[in-house]
Amino acid sequence: GQQVMQIPQYQHVQEGEDFTTYCNSSTTLSNIQWYKQRPGGHPVFLIQLVKSGEVKKQKRLTFQFGEAKKNSSLHITATQTTDVGTYFCAGQGQAGTALIFGKGTTLSVSS
């Protein structure tokens, strides 16, 4: 079945440093979504990528979807303490099928 792998599992940075998490799928994806979960909270949708090679930005966050639509990355520039949490990628195969989540990357930031 479809598998979505995400690395690293944990990342600790100093405030102001950059952070990147990577996501790889065993199969070609129709789209990939990114979610953020704050400690003690529930996952919250950040963004969806659909097109091959797509790049989207949200302030300090940059999301990329690979040319083959099998990998994606999330890059945060100049991390802040408010960026703390777990970031999940979630891939969807054929349209209408359920999202499969990666195991997440937990980011901690020290000031």
Partner 1 sequence: NAGVTQTPKFQVLKTGQSMTLQCAQDMNHNSMYWYRQDPGMGLRLIYYSASEGTTDKGEVPNGYNVSRLNKREFSLRLESAAPSQTSVYFCASSGQGAWEKLFFGSGTQLSVL
Binding-site ranges for partner 1 (CB under 8 A):
1, 6, 9, 30-31, 33, 35, 41-45, 48, 50, 88, 90, 92, 95-96, 98-104
Q: Which two tokens stand for residue 89?
A: 């990628």
Residue at 82: amino acid letter: T
Six-digit token pair at 57?
A: 């930005």
Closer to partner 1 by CB, 22 or 101: give it: 101
Residue 84, burial from CB neighbour count under 10 angstroms (0-12, 13-18, 19+):
middle
Residue 85 CB, shortest distance to partner 1, in Å, is: 13
Q: How far is the CB of 2 from partner 1 (least distance, A)?
A: 10
Report how far residue 56's alpha carbon sits from residue 72's, in angstroms, rounded to the nearest whole number. Answer: 11
Query: Considering beta carbons, is residue 96 or 111 the nearer one to partner 1?
Result: 96
10/15 with CB nearer partner 1: 10
